[in-house]
Structure 1
Amino acid sequence: MKRYVALGSSMAAGPGIAPRADSSPRAAQRSARNYPHLVASALALDLVDVTYSGATTAHVLTDSQRGARPQIEALDGTETLVTVTIGGNDVGYVPLLFAASLPRWTRSVPLLGSRLRDLLDPEARERALTEVEAALVEVGRTVRSRAPHATVLFVDYLTLLPPAGPAPPLADSDVALGRRVAAALRRATAAAAEATGAGLVRAAEASVEHHAWSSQPWTTRPGLPVPGRPAPLHPNAQGMQAVADLIERALR
């Protein structure tokens, strides 16, 4: 059976989409119905899913995460497929939208408030964005060197925000910042794929009409986590199936 390794953050792990993947760490919030599992089932691949909620490019390349080894160590050179969804936590994409959904008074709370204000600071987000493309390129190069015979696919992030107009309860200024960060992350992912000879699955483009405020959403709106339901500001089951379908088409 051909080996498939999935690398990435919560946008690949699928927090809250039941059931949880067998034997996966609870902190990873890894679903048995995330796109790696769906692709592996459809194409009869031997899946090694090391996606982990909260992961950054550093957790892919060098850093342990809650006791889990760097994700890159899952590669042993026998892979035929590697997918990568990463970078959003490097630039604070979902965290900034979560911060924007909280009441404004929380930005004055000691310690917490300074973190929220930083997430919603356009200059701070721009500084993070200037570093993410190089980090994504390094991910691509390292995957290529460790899995030289694999098809490597960068899978960008599903669209969360409407392409225009409001996204209540988020303030218009925060929505605009979120859109800028999402667009820059999409461009950085595409650039990294091109620079490293990897493929690109354009989940962001495919999901523009299926944003979280649409009538047929592939992602969820802000809110409080509810056990047994997809996490706020993350893919739902329909979104994961849509991404899996995109990957299968790219491979076929």
Structure 2
Amino acid sequence: MSRYVALGSSMAAGPGIRPRVKGSPLRAGRSQRNYAHLVAARLGLDLVDVTYSGATTANILTSPQPGAAPQISALDGTEELVTITIGGNDIGYVPMLMVAGLPRVLRAVPRLGALVDRDAREAALAGIGSALEDVGRQVRGRCPQARVCFVDYLTLLPPAGIPAPPLSDVDAATGRRLAEGLEQATAEAAAATGCEVVRVAEASRTHHAWSADPWTTRFGLPLPGRPAPLHPNAAGMRAVADLVVAQVS
């Protein structure tokens, strides 16, 4: 059976989508119904899923997370397929949205306020392209025969002009700017490193969290047995799996 390694953050792990992968670190939030598991089942691949909630590009390459080595260590050069969903935590994308939905008194806390500071987010966005290229280059170097696919993020926010409560129009615009910048940087990094890109963001424009047929969740408290707020739901994971299978089949 051909080997498939899935790398990435919570957008790939699927926190809160039951059932959780048995034996995986609790903090990873790794679901048995995330897109990697669905792709592996559809294509008959031997999956090694090392996705982990909160992961950054550094956690792919050099920095361990609790109970887990850097994700790139899962690659042994025999892979047929590698998928990568990463970058949002580097630029503070979902954390920015979560803080932006809090009452203003909480946003005044300096540590939280920094997450919604537009200049700080722009500075983070400016560095994501080189970080993603480093990931693509090193993953490609580890498994030169594999199909390496960056899978970008599902669209969370509606287009300009459509409200996204509790976000203000200004904060929603900042969120869209981060999402658009990450989408562009991912595509450019893939092209620069000989990888592919599965254009999930583009395919999900009309399935944002405030739509009639959402592939992601809105704001809320993290609750057991429910997909994490501002993350893929089960329908979203199925849609991403469909897009990956269509591209690599």
Q: TM-score, normalised by structure 1?
A: 0.97
* Deviation of 1:206 (Å): 0.3
| 1:178 partnered with 2:175 | yes
CA–CA separation in structure 1 for the residues paired with 2:127 and 2:61: 15
- Residue matched to 2:151: 155
- Residue matched to 1:240: 237
Q: Residue 85 of structure 2 aligns to which amino acid in structure 1? A: T
CA–CA separation in structure 2 for the residues paired with 1:212 and 1:90: 22
- Residue matched to 1:88: 88
Secondary structure of 2:69's aligned partner: coil
Q: TM-score, normalised by structure 2?
A: 0.99
Alignment of 1:204-219 (within 5 A): 204-219=201-216
Out of 198, 220, 231, which is 2:228 matched to?
231
Cα displacement string for residues 186-224 of structure 1 (whole angstroms, at most 9, x for unaligned residues): 000000000011111000000000000000000000111
- Residue matched to 2:65: 65
Cα displacement string for residues 109-168 of structure 1 (whole angstroms, at most 9, x for unaligned residues): xxxx11221111111001101111100000000000001110000000000000122100
- Residue matched to 1:197: 194
* Unmatched 5+ stretches in structure 1: none
CA–CA separation in structure 2 for the residues paired with 1:215 and 1:185: 25
Secondary structure of 2:181's aligned partner: helix
Question: Once the two structures are aligned, what percentage of the paired residues are identical?
Answer: 67
| 1:5 partnered with 2:5 | yes
RMSD of the TM alignment (CA)? 0.6
| 1:136 partnered with 2:132 | yes
Number of positions where the alignment pairs a residue of Structure 1 with one of Structure 2: 248
Change (3 A) 1:67 1:25: closer
Secondary structure of 1:82's aligned partner: strand
CA–CA separation in structure 1 for the residues paired with 2:83 and 2:198: 9
CA–CA separation in structure 2 for the residues paired with 1:133 and 1:67: 28
CA–CA separation in structure 1 for the residues paired with 2:241 and 2:130: 27
CA–CA separation in structure 2 for the residues paired with 1:5 and 1:23: 17
